[in-house]
Amino acid sequence: MQYENLNRERVRQAAGDTVLSICPAGVLESTVILPSAPGSQAPLLALHGISRNAGELCGAFAAAAEATGRIVVVPHFTADKWPVYQRITRRARPDKTILALLATLRAMDAAFRGPVDIFGFSGGAQLAHRFAMLYPEAVGDLHLGAAGWYTLPDESAAYPYGIGESATRQEPWSRLMRSGLRSYLQRRISVYVGSDDTSRDESLRQNEVVDDQQGAHRLQRARRYVASVNGRQAALGLPRSARLTFLQGCDHSFSTCVARGELALKVCQNN
């Protein structure tokens, strides 16, 4: 117990600064937000979008973490080391980066010895659900904020749009996702999207396949993802645990979703 208290103090000292973890791409810097009175909820890993606004996430989750007693960890995927991190490929292995971070945190604090909850916004939500599909044993609840598009739990669609074999069959991800699908679906999956998130901006993946399968914009795609997950859970005899929360009056701005939609607080409360 004394050892664990010392480790917790190490994390407390790092709160608001950085924890360094070694991964195949190099050194990852992550900010640990430790509330003054940590509660019993699992720690939350919060993943930024393609604007790489890790600092903004830290600011958004600081008050929510303190209010709920939730430990929050915000990694920063820099563009030089992780030019592409939303989708796991041979060229970019953000999944191994997250595994290395979790191993470092487990060594520092007993709170990280079990599964962690994961939140991601936009590109971060893409990484969050794909990581959870590959490593369901490492993830508790999953919170997805306005992903641009999704890998559906559907074997009839080729990876990365589903978990069927891709034309090249060079990547093992779809096979691994299929093998862990039942485990992945045995968790709460909360999807958040702004009620006004209907634009087709340049950062939104747009092609005939994804538009036909998932919809024209993030609002439609969130609806179809939740329907796909719940449908697959029902087919496997599992409880339907995916839910969709609309952030009223919000578009695709993270700051608006936090200020007007109380996104950070909703995630930390896990209601």
Show me where the domains of the chain are located. 2-269
Beta-strand ranges (E) seen in the chain are 19-23, 26-33, 44-47, 72-76, 116-121, 139-145, 189-194, 242-247
Contact of 131 with 260, CB cutoff 8 Å: no
- pLDDT of 212 reads 96
Structure tokens at 107: 């060594």
- pLDDT of 13 reads 42
From CA 118, how far away is CA 133, in angstroms rounded? 12
- pLDDT of 26 reads 85
Total residue count of the chain as it appears in this document: 271
In angstroms, what CA-CA distances link 25 with 13, 31, 66, 172?
Answer: 26, 18, 32, 20
- pLDDT of 10 reads 43
Output phi, psi for 91, to 5 deg: -80, -30
- pLDDT of 169 reads 63
Q: What is the separation, in whole angstroms, between the first and last Cα of the chain?
A: 31
Per-residue confidence of the chain (271 residues) as pLDDT tens digits? 332 443 444 444 444 568 999 988 889 999 999 998 989 999 999 999 999 999 999 999 999 999 999 999 999 999 988 888 887 877 778 999 999 999 999 999 999 999 999 999 999 999 999 999 999 999 999 999 999 999 999 999 999 999 998 776 667 889 999 999 999 999 999 999 999 999 999 889 999 999 999 999 999 999 999 999 999 999 999 999 999 999 999 999 999 999 999 999 999 997 5
pTM of the full structure: 0.92
Output phi, psi for 243, to 5 deg: -135, 150
- pLDDT of 89 reads 75
- pLDDT of 168 reads 67
Superfamily the domain 2-269 falls into: Alpha/Beta hydrolase fold, catalytic domain (3.40.50.1820)
Burial of 237 (0-12, 13-18, 19+ CB in 10 A): exposed
Burial of 40 (0-12, 13-18, 19+ CB in 10 A): exposed
